[in-house]
Amino acid sequence: MIALSLAEIAEIVGGQAHDIPDPGARITGPVVIDSREVKPGSLFAAFAGERVDGHDYAERAVAAGAAAVLAVRPVGVPAIVVDDVQGALGALARAVVERLGTDVVALTGSAGKTSTKDLIAQVLGRHAPTVWTPGSLNNEIGLPLTALTATEETRHLVLEMGARGIGHIRYLTGLTPPRIGLVLNVGSAHIGEFGGREQIAEAKGEMVESLPSAEDGGVAVLNADDPLVRAMASRTKARVTLFGEADEATVRGENVRLTETGRPAFTLHTPTGCSDVTLRLYGEHHVSNALAAAAVAHELGMPVQEIATALSEAGSLSRWRMEVTERPDGVTIVNDAYNANPESMRAALRALAAMGRAREAQGARTWAVLGRMAELGDASLAEHDAVGRLAVRLNVSKLVAVGDREASWLQLGAYNEGSWGEESVHVSDAQAAVDLLRRELRPGDVVLVKASRSVGLEQVALALLDGEGEVSGR
């Protein structure tokens, strides 16, 4: 963060100074909400959660070097007291971004935000100092905390914005107003909470409504291949740039294919020319993410060749998203257990099938170890059934459905699509899946592990990579 004095911060957030001997003292360390992350000169924002109240840790934070605490009541150590800590954090982020004048790139979508944000960060990072959302900290607290890590050197601030309802993106764009706003897709993630795809589109579209006009430099980067995203063009004053495989896309992918190692490759076309890209990431869905990243980089003036090289060299910065590890015995584990929805399940299964084809000559078998996709509302049965069926259609060798009711729907879908005997099985929990796999896996096999976050299936992937260990409790 830029060094601000406690007096300046109190003024920005409309707070009262308490127990502050020197209002001219500056915040020189990071703004944190966990007292264990305090560094010398930090500002510790005390949040009252369900189980712990940050105010109880104020003293500890100051002892660890925090210059002050942002709190809702005096805490006996230097504090700026406000009515609402979240609101104050947001106001501070907004003021800091405004003072720095950093160019903000914001992105949202149903699936692929973190993957795309990581690609954008790696592409732009080559060209100028860039700060980006760590992991998936895309909400009303993570977003300001990220923005507050920007400094005078920062040229690009790349921010992931998540939404679970109408108004959420509007709130986030209000804190860190983007100049470039990207919408990836409108899928069915959180459809149960939103009520339907149109509502999801309504909520995600708040991104482009927030942008400055074309004359003021606003750019809406929209997915040409997703009709609900493309339709957002009518909701913005910004200039619209389309990315995708459709002919109308300004930044276009052509000749999209999977290489023989199962990696996505394509020819990238931008108005500055074309260049070949082979991603280091697995799964066809990353083509769309890479084209989105390319469109942002193009808007920021990067030439096509440089974008293509950066994309071809970019790795995964966030964990458990198609994380591919080969064990010494030649078994490959694909840990995509970070999250799942119907679109990402389909993409991951297609990637698994491609990896299997690439290893066909060695007699490799493909295993899909899948669990529940949460928050699907009324569509849940049909979606689980469809995923089970797709696994069979893609010729995945073995489906292991893990968990309760939804897992039985997955397995039943596979059975009804024509899986035989042991080709699809239903096991009760992660430990049972691990026991089964430990017995059955052979060198050359490829195992995909995927479910919604709440299922915790990464434990299966970790146990398989770990040798003899048990699945640890969560």
Ligand X SMILES: Nc1ncnc2c1ncn2[C@@H]1O[C@H](COP(=O)(O)OP(=O)(O)OP(=O)(O)O)[C@@H](O)[C@H]1O
Least distance from C-beta 454 to ligand X, angstroms?
11
| By CB under 6 A, residue 199 contacts ligand X | no
CB under 5 A: which stretch of 128-136, 169-177, 371-379, 404-412 binds Mg ion?
A: 128-136
| By CB under 6 A, residue 263 contacts ligand X | no
Nearest to 186 by CA among 109, 117, 291: 109
Least distance from C-beta 265 to Mg ion, angstroms?
25
Binding residue for Mg ion, selected from 113, 156, 179, 384, defined by CB under 5 A: 113
Q: Which amino acid, residue 404?
A: D
| By CB under 6 A, residue 285 contacts ligand X | yes
CB under 6 A: which stretch of 68-76, 270-278, 341-349, 398-406 binds ligand X?
A: 341-349
The residue to which tokens 């879908």 are assigned: 413
Number of chain residues interacting with ligand X (CB under 6 A): 26
Binding residue for Mg ion, selected from 5, 28, 136, 305, defined by CB under 5 A: 136
In three-state form (DSSP H/G/I as H, E/B as E, the rest C), the secondary structure along 377-439 is HHHHHHHHHHHHHHHHHCCCCEEEEECCHHHHHHHHHHHHCCCCHHHEEEECCHHHHHHHHHH
CB under 5 A: which stretch of 81-89, 132-140, 242-250, 357-365 binds Mg ion?
A: 132-140
Q: How far apart are CA 261 and CA 451, in angstroms?
A: 24
User: How is the beta sheet containing 323-326 ordered, strand by strand?
Assistant: 323-326, 332-335, 446-450, 366-370, 398-402, 424-427
With CB cut-offs between 5 and 8 Å by kind, which of Mg ion, ligand X, none does residue 268 bind? none
With CB cut-offs between 5 and 8 Å by kind, which of ligand X, Mg ion, none does residue 285 bind? ligand X
How many CB atoms neighbour CB 56 within 10 A?
12
Q: Which residue, 66 or 340, is less far from ligand X as judged by CB?
A: 340
Per the CB < 8 A criterion, the answer to whether 198 and 233 are in contact is no
With CB cut-offs between 5 and 8 Å by kind, which of ligand X, Mg ion, none does residue 288 bind? ligand X
Q: How far apart are CA 388 and CA 432, in angstroms?
A: 19
Binding residue for ligand X, selected from 11, 140, 343, 423, defined by CB under 6 A: 343
Residues 99-138 that bind ligand X (CB under 6 A): 109, 111-115, 136, 138
The residue to which tokens 């690009």 are assigned: 156
Q: Name the helix (H) or strand (E) containing 104.
A: strand 103-108
Q: How far apart are CA 394 and CA 383, in angstroms?
A: 16
16 forms beta bridges with 81
CB under 5 A: which stretch of 107-115, 322-330, 414-422, 454-462 binds Mg ion?
A: 107-115
Q: Which residue, 117 or 359, is less far from Mg ion as judged by CB?
A: 117
Binding mask 200-239 for Mg ion (x = CB under 5 A): ----------------------------------------
The residue to which tokens 């930044």 are assigned: 251
- Residues at the interface with ligand X (CB under 6 A): 109, 111-115, 136, 138, 162, 184-185, 189, 283, 285, 288-289, 321-322, 336, 338-340, 343-344, 347-348
